[in-house]
Structure 1
């Protein structure tokens, strides 16, 4: 059964309703401009900073304020932390100068998330580092903290989404530059995974071959098979530059292995031809190779020890040494004959 209201009563209710609407609109407008700062102010002007005695102040502890508000003390403390950081930056007054009920000009809402995080982990050393990294990347810290708190979700995204995997790969490459421990762990993982180990070896070989071609283009010099460094003929350098340009024009993700092998083999053949075409260089190359082999053989014999000859002796060893001695005699005779001819 409905009760009819007098016109005067209806008008009073209507006016009261309008007042409530106006109040809500104004509070909404204030929050739209200031965001979380409006709530942070209520905390800052009513809560004593940690460790400060109550004294004659009407302010209460974060725990008491949380109980009055029907929320946790941790949530209250996060608002305290945000206000404290902003006060250090000069955006808002310090806790000590505020009194309960006091209103002040608040910062814009768009800077609130630079100081506040809804996650308690944001105040830890780890959380602070994640927050700083997020700000450097131009994203909200809360997003990065959410990902960090749910590594299983991150793993699922990496496994399912190629673009996420690429972002993770790029991040790891940036991270290992300043993290020796992570470098070691990744290197160990690669060494223990046959597929990765082969892929790394293949990429390393391709990089070395491209480097060989690139240094000819950049320095204008070639390194011969015997290890000599000489100026590269113009046509050889031009061919190296042509191959290098083809490699540099490959799309990201295209395999460079075959291109690197072709460039390397072509340039190596041209180097060999350049050596053969220059009589003086050809002689120097043979002389360098001979000395290199002689030095290696000398080192091998210097490292031999015959202290345990009784235990290691075999007839075949003596035969090989006698054959080697004959070869040495022949070599020495040839060199002396060549010296006499000059």
Structure 2
């Protein structure tokens, strides 16, 4: 066996078992701790070690900090207990990523937040930091992979609840995108329809055209509950549009019939409905008439206008006479 191959295999085996701890040990036993003067130890500074290794001092310090954190947890000896060339038993390789952060961004406010979120999700912070530093790669994954797009959508929905600025930005994007604006309008309409069916099923309440509240018949509530159960049983990816339309149409027709029957069967309620309808029509007519402007009557005058107003005046007079006669009661 070639000695060079054997040496490579042995070093590979050591690294496979210990991972980054192998290199962290080299830093820990060769780089002097902060505050220790050069004359007190044969160890060198992180800058000098990096120059000898052909890498940056920042990279050296990332290994240094990983060892320091592990030492605080009692996994490895403190720096002061290590001399150049010392050998110690190293933790398993899978523990390394719990202490080592390969990016400078992890020490920033943004990096700290990403690290905390990654730990809360039960994933390695290095993965989350890598994604955050490569937005183009994230975009490519979202565009190419439906499951990644779904994960991104779920994450945005969670974040939007506590991010007013993002809420505004997304709302603005939707309003400016015709396809999204149309889709939102359709979903809002569907949600309103489902809400109508759910309100009848759960609260059993109907409203007359005049706004009077009525109790829904038991048969109507049962029908609404049946349609809701069908909607609830649909899979997440299954189209609910046709089911929603059918549920809304059926329940709405039955509700209208129930209201009509209730009004016709209750003389007092029927009078209230007629009174409310009259007031509503009167309010609309008054508003329309008040909006008429006759400042420039000379310019807009037509004989037909006067005739129609005279007819309206006669109708109003007849209406007033009928109301006064009703107020006087039977003669």
Q: Which TM-score band applies after superposition, normalised by the shorter structure?
A: 0.7 to 0.9
On the 8 A contact 2:207/2:259 being kept in 1, the answer is no
Give 1:309's aligned residue.
295
Select between 56-65 and 288-297 the one with higher mean Cα deviation.
288-297
> SS of 2:97's equivalent?
helix
Q: CA deviation at 1:65?
A: 0.9
> Aligned to 1:286, which of 265, 274, 283?
274
**1:108-137 alpha-carbon deviations (Å, 9 max, x no partner):** 332211221333333333333333322222
Give 2:160's aligned residue.
176
Counting matched residue pairs gives 322
C-alpha distance in 2, partners of 1:219/1:312?
A: 58
Q: CA deviation at 1:94?
A: 5.0
On the 8 A contact 1:82/1:116 being kept in 2, the answer is yes
Give 2:229's aligned residue.
245
C-alpha distance in 2, partners of 1:94/1:330?
A: 103
**1:135-168 alpha-carbon deviations (Å, 9 max, x no partner):** 2222233333333333222222222222222222
CA 165–276 in structure 1, closer or farther in 2 if over 3 Å, else same? same
On the 8 A contact 1:247/1:260 being kept in 2, the answer is yes
On the 8 A contact 2:206/2:259 being kept in 1, the answer is no
CA 61–310 in structure 1, closer or farther in 2 if over 3 Å, else same? same
Q: CA deviation at 1:328?
A: 3.3
C-alpha distance in 2, partners of 1:29/1:202?
A: 60
Q: CA deviation at 1:103?
A: 4.9
On the 8 A contact 1:276/1:282 being kept in 2, the answer is no
> SS of 1:114's equivalent?
coil
On the 8 A contact 1:87/1:94 being kept in 2, the answer is yes
Unaligned runs of 5+ in 2: none
Select between 200-209 and 42-51 the one with higher mean Cα deviation.
42-51
On the 8 A contact 1:203/1:257 being kept in 2, the answer is no
> Aligned to 1:266, which of 250, 257, 275?
250
C-alpha distance in 2, partners of 1:49/1:323?
A: 102
CA 282–258 in structure 1, closer or farther in 2 if over 3 Å, else same? farther
C-alpha distance in 1, partners of 2:157/2:107?
A: 27
Select between 193-202 and 329-338 the one with higher mean Cα deviation.
329-338
On the 8 A contact 1:47/1:65 being kept in 2, the answer is yes
On the 8 A contact 1:213/1:267 being kept in 2, the answer is yes
Q: Does 1:167 align with 2:151?
A: yes
Unaligned runs of 5+ in 1: 1-13
Q: What's the Cα RMSD here?
A: 3.5
> Aligned to 2:70, which of 86, 107, 129?
86
